[in-house]
Structure 1
Amino acid sequence: MKASGFKKAGKTLLALSLMGVMAGAAHAADNVLHIYNWSDYIAPDTVAKFEKES
């Protein structure tokens, strides 16, 4: 009987987590580009060129 309760709670938690992720993605509609980079992987002028072209 207890295992059934844990399964139901797990499914509910999973559903709520997925809804939270989808709500967060729907809210992220700014005109911002986030670039995650390691040290010298992208040339210093790449961002300036991108901003100029867009």
Structure 2
Amino acid sequence: MEIGEHIRSLREESEISQTEFAKYTHINNSVLSRIEAGKCAFKDQEIKDNR
């Protein structure tokens, strides 16, 4: 399982919409969508910097 698929799976299990998750993580919704689809790479540091 790719990281984007894992993020989507965890988000859906938590019943959180993409929009809600994007706001919580301070990531643009369209970027989150691309991450979940495996079309956009990201680094752990990018998420840490967005806290």
- TM norm structure 2: 0.24
Highest RCO, 1 vs 2 (Cα 8 Å, sep ≥ 6): 2
- Bigger Cα Rg: 1
